[in-house]
Structure 1
Amino acid sequence: MVPGAPSTTTTMLPASEAAKIYQTNYVRNSRAIGVLWAIFTILFAIVNVVCFIQPYWIGDGVDTPQAGYFGLFHYCIGNGLSRDLTCQGSFTEFSSIPSGAFKAASFFIGMSMALVLTCITCFALFFFCSTGTVYKICGWMQLAAGTCLILGCMIYPDGWDSDEVKRMCGEQTDKYTLGACSVRWAYILAIMGILDALILSFLAFVLGNRQDSLMSEELLGDSKKTPAHASSLGQFLWCFMVIFQEITLSAPHQV
């Protein structure tokens, strides 16, 4: 070293401390992402409920014979020159839904809503089960909810050839052809919900795998003396034997 030159030596943290800092940041980031995932899951549930309930999937336009709008199972159509709309349809009265395609779409969108609400209920399992397992359960539910949304959105236009839709949109209306009517915001929101469900399910699987890897590292750190080729069952039995031996040696000897 040249006399008077500044020292280039840097202080290196011990490997154990560096690993501990990395693990702490890793856990903190995972928890922050998990909170965001939970918040967006709740928002997705709200979107799903709104799409299921609101009757604004398709609606009238400038050139439509009648005013009105259609949802999954509830619809309102004008009567002649009167501005009053006659509303019909209810999910509890399945026979009142005007088209078989609308019935199928209502079923799949309703199933999607039930799945995402069940997913939110499963948040309580974080207090009782492995975090990674809960993330994966919710991920499968969100993936199934997204699949149901896809099916509902694809099947719904197949019912546009019903008499009620033609009465509002004109005789040119047919399956997957809306005639003089237009798509409304609830249908668009449902399509956006598909992307939301797929992203949330992917994120849930990523978080679940990260939690599993973190748990594996913690178990590996607690059992450094365990042979590297031992199975998970062997590691559990080895840890149990060590704990039992420690308890036996620390117990007072009986005379």
Structure 2
Amino acid sequence: MISFVSYIWILITALVAATCAFSLLQPFWIIHPDGIHSFGVYVYCKGGDFGDVNGQLTKQMCSFYGGHLSVVNIPSGAWQATFLLFSTGCAILLASLVMGMATMFLTIRWLQKLSNTMTYLQTSAVLILTSALLTYPLGMNSPFFHYYCGPRAEVYNAGQCSMGWSYMLAMMGTALSIFCPILWNLRDFKSEQDDYPFNL
């Protein structure tokens, strides 16, 4: 029988994985004061007069750095590391969600073998996501960032730019991910108590 904690674990893990993936796709990790230019991990938005598919002019266009998705086109080594770390952390969380849901249909013997692996897997995802978020501001010292956000921009100082909602969302998702390995270890607490009752 699936415990209530298991349902909570599924909900939180799914929420964290979705939040990580969504924030990674957004170009609003750093926002320029003009509200038009913004920068994500691997995609950015710039201002200008651009024609859309309907032939109408738009003031903003978003695209990959360098025109196509490639890690080498990301303008900062720190941002390249952030992209690799954060996408890896998201992938691990998603894989742990699939594996965790699959364990609900496994026998006790296989469940015990997988249990420790799941704990290590989710703990490593938390550490990888945290390291990605700490690495991202290191790219604020790059020439690309200085061009848009001013010469006073430096490591952990966005200059005239500000941290965007995508970065804040990534931080919230990472903070929430801390509960995933904890809940995984507590998911069978009630059933263990039922299996080994304390008799007075």
Coarse TM-score class (shorter-chain normalised): 0.7 to 0.9
Which blocks of at least 5 consecutive residues in structure 2 are unaligned? 50-57
Residue 120 and residue 148 in structure 1: after superposition, are their counterparts in 2 closer, same or farther (change >3 A)? Answer: same
Per the TM alignment, residue 91 of structure 1 is displaced from its structure 2 partner at its CA by 7.9
Look at both structures and tell me which one has the larger radius of gyration over its CA atoms. 1
d(CA) in 2 for partners of 1:91 and 1:36? 39
Q: Which residue of 2 aligns with 1:77?
A: 46
Secondary structure at the residue paired with 1:160?
helix
Q: Which residue of 2 aligns with 1:196?
A: 176
Per the TM alignment, residue 76 of structure 1 is displaced from its structure 2 partner at its CA by 2.2
Higher RCO by CA contacts (8 Å cutoff, separation 6 or greater): 2
Q: Which residue of 2 aligns with 1:108?
A: 85
Higher strand share goes to which structure?
2
Per the TM alignment, residue 84 of structure 1 is displaced from its structure 2 partner at its CA by 4.2
Q: Which residue of 2 aligns with 1:248?
A: none
Q: Where does 1:171-190 land on structure 2 (aligned, <5 Å)?
A: 171-190=151-170
Question: What percent of counterpart residues are identical?
Answer: 23
Q: Which residue of 2 aligns with 1:88?
A: 64
User: 2:3, 2:190 within 8 Å by CA — same for their partners in 1?
Assistant: no
d(CA) in 2 for partners of 1:129 and 1:78? 57
Which blocks of at least 5 consecutive residues in structure 1 are unaligned? 1-26, 219-255
Q: CA RMSD in A?
A: 2.8
1:165 maps onto 2:145 in alignment = yes
Per the TM alignment, residue 215 of structure 1 is displaced from its structure 2 partner at its CA by 8.4
Secondary structure at the residue paired with 1:115?
helix
d(CA) in 2 for partners of 1:91 and 1:149? 24
d(CA) in 1 for partners of 2:47 and 2:13? 38
Q: Which residue of 2 aligns with 1:127?
A: 105
**Alignment length, in residue pairs?**
185
Per the TM alignment, residue 112 of structure 1 is displaced from its structure 2 partner at its CA by 0.7
Per the TM alignment, residue 153 of structure 1 is displaced from its structure 2 partner at its CA by 0.5
1:217 maps onto 2:196 in alignment = yes
1:59 maps onto 2:39 in alignment = no
